[in-house]
A and B are shown apart, each in its own frame.
Chain A
Amino acid sequence: MRGYLLRRLVTLTITIAGIMVMTFFTSLVVPLDPLAALAGPQAPPETVERLRTLYGFDQPLYVQFGRYVARLARGDLGVSFQTSRPVLQDIVTYFPATLELATFAILVGIGVGIPLGVLSAVYKNRAIDHFCRILSLIGVSTPVFWLGLVLMLVFYFKLGWLPEPGRLDIMLLEPARVTGVLLIDSAIARDLEVFADALKHLVLPASVLGLVGVASISRITRSSMLEVLSQEYVKTARIKGLSEFPVIVRHALRNALVPTVTVVGLTYGLLLEGSVLTETIFSWPGLGRYMANAFLTLDLNTIVGGTMFVALTFCLVNLLVDLAYAFLNPKITYTES
C-alpha cells in the first residue's frame, strides 16, 4: 500500500510539472496580445512596451518560466486583469461556492444513481430497468446549459417554486465568512433563515449538475452489477442458501462498487466542467463563472492560474479515488501492473 502511494505521488509530481509547463506555454500561444487589450485600442505603442517591461514579458523564455515557477512557489499567481485582485485571492474567494455546488451534485448522483443502477441490474429488462436507462440516457445527452435554462424557466419564471439565480436572496446578509461555504457558515452562525434560503438556492443548480452525475453513476453501477452478478461467487452465495438481498448487497454490490468509485472521480471532472456552464447560467459566484469570464476577456493570469488550480484539484481527486479503489479492492495492493 505504501509503495503504491509513493508511486502515485511521484507520478503526480511529474504531472504537476507537466501542467505547469503546459499552462505556461499555452499562455504564450495566445495570438491576441492581452497587453494591447489592457492598454486599450487608443494607446500608443510606447505604453504597450512599458506594460510589457512592467509585466516582464520582454525577457527570454526560460527566464520567464523560471520567474513563473518561483512565483508559483510563493503562491503568487499574478493579478487578475478583470478584478485587479491577486488571482490566488480570487480563487480562494470563489472556490467554496463551487465546492458546495459540486458536493451537493455528487451526493445527488450517488444517492440516486447507485440505487437506480442496482435496481436496473437486478430487474434487468423490466419496467424499472427501462425507466432508469432512459433517464440516464437523457441525463448523459442533455446539454447542461440548456437544461439549466429550461429548468429555470419552468421552476422559477413560470412556477415560482424555486428562487432566483444566485446563492442567496438579495435581501439577506451573508454570515461571517469562516469557510466560504454558506451552509456551513450559516450553521456556525446559527442563522437558520440564511441556511434555509441558501439551501433553496442550491436546489436548482445542484439538480442540473447532479443529473449528469446520476446518469453516469447509474450507468456504471448497472453495468458493473450485471458483470458481477454473472460471476461464479454470486452463484456460490446462492448455493449457500442466502436470500436475494444479502446476495445482492453483501456479495455483489461490494464488488460492483469498485469500478463505480472510479466513475465518481470522473464525475467530479464532469462537474468541474459543468460548473463553468451552470454557474454562468445561475449567476453562481463560483470558480466556474470566474473562469468563464476570464476565458472570454483573455485575462491571462487568471486563465493560467485558474486552469492550473482546476487541474491540480482534479489530480488530487483522482489520486483520492485511486487510493479508495486500492483500499476497496484487495487485489490491487498486491498485484501492481
Chain B
Amino acid sequence: MFWIPGNDSCEVEAGLAEDLLLDVRDLRVEFPTLRGVVHALQGVTFQLKRRETLGLAGETGCGKSVTALAVLRLISPPGRISQGRILFEGRDLLAASEAEMRELRGSQISMILQEPKMSLNPVIRVGAQVAETLLVHEKTLSRRAAAERAVEMLAALGIPDPQRTAQRYSHELSGGMAQRVMIAMMLVTRPKLLIADEPTSALDVTIQAQILELMKALKREIHTALLLITHDLGVMAETCDRVAVMYAGTVVEQGPVKTVLKRPQHPYTQGLLRTIPNDATPDQPLFSIRGTVPSLLQPPTGCAFAPRCERAMAECTQAVPPQYRLEADHQVACFLHRGRDSKHPQISQITQIGPKSSGL
C-alpha cells in the first residue's frame, strides 16, 4: 500500500484547460449504514470538456448516479463527500456555499432522471413546472413571460399541441412525453452542463431513439455539455464523444468512444465488450466475467477489479493503480500500462490513495 506522489498542478495539457468544463479529481463518497460504511465512490477522476458528450458507463451499483448527485452536491446526509475536488469552470464546487450551489443548480448544471413520470410533481401542471425553473433563476421574468417560454420550450422538444399539454398533469402523459417535459424543464435555462441519468432506460426502444436524437439536436443548438450516464453500450456508441468506464466506485478507463470501444485497454472494459453477443460466432457460449462485483462495505485493497482479472499481477492487490495516460486523451487505471505513458511521463500520474481501511 503506497502513496504515489503526483504533480497535480500541471494536471492537464495546456490547450485543454480552457475547454475544460468539469474536472473531477479523486472523488470519494461514503454512506454510513446499519452494517457499516458503504464506500460508494472510491476515487473517481474524469474530465468533461465544453459542449462535449461524455458517457459514464458501468454496471448497476458502480456509482454512476452517486457521481452525478455529488457533482450537484445533492448527496443527502448521512451520506457525505469525504474527499476530492470537483472543478466546474475552474471553480471548486465542494468549497462553494449552499446558496452558491443553488444558483448553479438548474441554471448552469441540470440533471434529468431516469423515471420521468415519477420525477414530475403529480399535483402541479407540467407547464408550470417548466416555467418554475425560469422563475427561480431569472428573477425579473414575469409569470406570463415564463409561461410563454415554457410553452416554446415544449414545442422545441417536439411536443404536439404544447399549449394544451402545458395544462396537463404528469400522470396524463406517456413516458416519452414526460421525458420531453423533463428535458424542457432542465434545458429551458440553457445550462452549460446537463447530466442525464439513464434518461431512456424506462422508455421503449422506439421512443429511446427519438429522445436521444432530440437530446443530440438540442445539445447542438444550446451548446450544452452532456454527461450521459448509462449501462447501455449501444446508446453510448451512438451518442457520446468520449466515454468513462466505471467499476466499483472508480473510473477504470476513459477516452474517445471509438478508441475505448474498439481498442479497450483495461481488462474490465475488455471483458465488458466481450460479453456482447457476437453475430460472427453464433455458436459460442455467452461470455461473462467470472466472479462478482466486490462489496462496497469492505472494499478490497488495491485495484478493485484485481480479484476477477485474468491478468492480475502481484502489485495489483497492493496498490490502487493511478490513471495512466496513453495516447491523446485515453487514460487507463491499470498497472499493465505503467510505463506506457510515454508522452508525458510526469503529468499522467494522478494521485489516488487506496481505501483507508487498509491502514497506513
Contact = CB atoms under 8 A, between A and B. Distances in A.
A312 B164 CA distance: 42
Interface stretch (B103-111, B151-159, B210-218, B232-240): B103-111
Contacts of B186: 239-240
A177 interface: no
Interface residues of B, number: 29
Q: Which of B133, B172, B182, B185 has the most CB of A within 10 A?
A: B133
A25 B124 CA distance: 49
Contacts of A258: 123
Contacts of B106: 239-242
Given A232-B113, A330-B169, A334-B171, A240 B185 contact: yes
Contact of A251 (B121, B171, B182, B185): B121
Given A233-B118, A233-B121, A239 B136 contact: no
Interface string B111-134: 101010011111110000000110
A243 interface: yes
A231 B105 contact: no
A251 B136 CA distance: 14
B121 A241 contact: no
A308 interface: no
B136 A240 contact: yes
Interface string A220-247: 0000000000011101111111110000
A255 interface: yes
B17 interface: no
Interface magnitude class on chain A: 20 to 34
Interface string A316-337: 0000000000001111001100
Given A233-B120, A251-B121, A331-B122, A238 B74 contact: yes
Nearest to B182: A236
A237 B105 contact: no
Contacts of A328: 123
B67 to A, nearest CB: 15
Contacts of A254: 121, 123-124
Given A254-B123, A330-B123, A334-B171, A242 B74 contact: no
Interface in B13-64: none
B326 interface: no
Contact of A238 (B105, B169, B171): B105
A241 B123 contact: no
Q: Which of B104, B110, B123, B185 has the most CB of A within 10 A?
A: B123
Q: Which of A231, A232, A258 has the most CB of B within 10 A?
A: A232
Q: Which of A231, A233, A254 has the most CB of B within 10 A?
A: A233
B54 to A, nearest CB: 19
Nearest to A250: B124
Contacts of A236: 113, 119-121, 182, 185
Given A233-B122, A255-B123, A239 B169 contact: no
Contacts of A255: 121-123
Contacts of B118: 231-233
Nearest to A257: B123
A231 B118 CA distance: 8
Given A330-B169, A330-B171, A232 B119 contact: yes
B72 interface: yes
A177 to B, nearest CB: 43
B123 A239 contact: no
A258 B124 CA distance: 13
B102 interface: yes
Q: Which of A236, A238, A240 has the most CB of B within 10 A?
A: A240
Given A232-B115, A331-B171, A240 B133 contact: yes
A238 B111 CA distance: 10
A329 B124 CA distance: 10
Nearest to B102: A241
Interface in A297-329: 328-329
A241 B137 contact: yes
A242 B74 CA distance: 12
Contacts of A242: 102, 106, 132, 136
A239 B171 contact: no
A235 B132 CA distance: 14
Nearest to B133: A240
Contacts of A241: 102-107, 133, 136-137
Nearest to A258: B123
A240 B123 CA distance: 17
Interface string B64-98: 00000000101000000000000000000000000
Interface in B136-187: 136-137, 169, 171-172, 182, 185-186
B74 A235 contact: yes
The 10 closest A-B pairs by CB, nearest first: A241-B106, A241-B105, A240-B106, A232-B118, A233-B121, A232-B119, A330-B169, A236-B119, A240-B133, A241-B102
Interface of B: 72, 74, 102-107, 110-111, 113, 115, 118-124, 132-133, 136-137, 169, 171-172, 182, 185-186
15 contacts: A232-B119, A235-B113, A236-B185, A240-B186, A241-B104, A241-B106, A241-B107, A241-B136, A242-B132, A242-B136, A328-B123, A329-B123, A330-B169, A330-B171, A331-B169
Given A231-B118, A241-B137, 10 more contacts: A233-B119, A236-B119, A236-B182, A239-B105, A239-B110, A240-B133, A243-B102, A254-B124, A255-B122, A330-B123
